[in-house]
Amino acid sequence: MKRRTLLLTALAASVTVRAQSRPPETGGSLPRGLPQPTETIDLWPDGAPGKPALPPEETVVERSTDELVSDRAVFGITNPRLAVFRPTVPNGAAVMVTPGGAYKHVVVDKEGYEIGRWLSARGFTVFVLFYRLPAEGWAAGPNVALSDAQRTMRLIRARAGDYGIDPERVAAMGFSAGGHVSTDLTARFATPTYDAVDSADGLSARPLVAAHIYPVVSMSLPVTHAVSRKMLIGENASPDLERKHSPQHNVPDDAPPCFLVHAEDDASVVVENTLEFRAALKSRGISVETHLFANGGHGFGLRKAVGKPVAAWPELFVSWARTTSLI
């Protein structure tokens, strides 16, 4: 393990670090007392590959009507990037977070920055990924978000020394459609989806462990989330295309151990998504911890879980992580 870590560090040495873009911003005022990330990492040094002829314009929309709570969503991401949350006392582990948004947009706060603050307060270095959206004309099509997730895992490892983290101890955590990104990464971390751009792409994209919180998994009716399916593969996708982009059908024998959370009363992304992925992991002999809650609905994150049994999920994740080599 030590020898492999030294090799990863050596491979990372030639990765060029350039001036980075700002995090997604609305330009308006934000709630006081909530630190906003100021450090970012652009994924692609020469711009994201396969840009559409008419690229979308990035916009950030504030959806909250409560001045004490922000609920932003970013649309039209052309410069995929990471917002970084550094802990005061690093525990040596990193977590890539992929927020949800039905592949129409990417949530900023509820499943992004709020998770980043919570995890970093417990020693994790957190990288919130603003990934490209598959219905916006990118050449990679339905693989475009997976490409960004694979590149993220490799960049985190390449820059591990900059953040005081062990390049082996990098986890993935995804929510809703971002849970499709993370389950897809769990299943297809080794699938080539883009041409290498620098030495970081010689590193592994496999998470050490992965956490999938109320994830979209299946692309087949009636289990699928219809909007996510439409945005990812289209309304009239063939059964073959559905299967290719349904991670439960693609789990390899070396998939990472997984932590699954879902509420059984989720009317948006039904619990069968998690159950089907769990069954696929078990069939491959992959270690999986599953927590199902009777109540919680969809999109509870941290804030909507308060006062409910489902509020236990973040501490359950940390407890589970201690049973792995993540921490």
* Tens digits of residue pLDDT in 117-150: 999 999 999 999 999 999 999 999 999 999 999 9
254 found inside a domain: yes
41 found inside a domain: no
Cα separation, 108 vs 74, whole angstroms: 7
Cβ atoms of 289 and 283 closer than 8 Å = no
Domain count, the chain: 1
Q: What is the CATH number for 85?
A: 3.40.50.1820
User: Burial, 268: exposed, middle or buried (Cβ in 10 Å; 0-12, 13-18, 19+)?
Assistant: middle
279 found inside a domain: yes
Q: Whole-prediction pTM value?
A: 0.93
Cβ atoms of 49 and 140 closer than 8 Å = yes
196 found inside a domain: yes
Cβ atoms of 43 and 8 closer than 8 Å = no
| Residue given tokens 């591990």 in the structure block | 160
* Structural domain harbouring 294: 2-12+56-322
The span from the first CA to the last CA of the chain, in angstroms, equals 15
Cβ atoms of 221 and 230 closer than 8 Å = no
126 found inside a domain: yes
Cα separation, 79 vs 235, whole angstroms: 27
pLDDT at 35: 78
Q: How many CB atoms lie within 10 A of CB 164?
A: 14
Q: Which stretches does DSSP call E strand in the chain?
A: 40-42, 59-62, 72-75, 81-85, 94-98, 106-107, 125-130, 170-175, 210-213, 258-263, 288-293
42 found inside a domain: no
Question: Which positions ≥6 away from 185 have C-beta within 8 Å?
Answer: 146, 149, 150, 153, 172, 174, 205, 207, 210
Coil vs helix vs strand at 202: helix
* Spans in the chain with pLDDT lower than 70: 1-19, 25-33
The number of angstroms, rounded, from the C-alpha of 71 to the middle of its chain's C-alpha atoms is 18
Cα separation, 201 vs 65, whole angstroms: 42
20 found inside a domain: no
45 found inside a domain: no
pLDDT at 13: 45
Cβ atoms of 127 and 99 closer than 8 Å = no
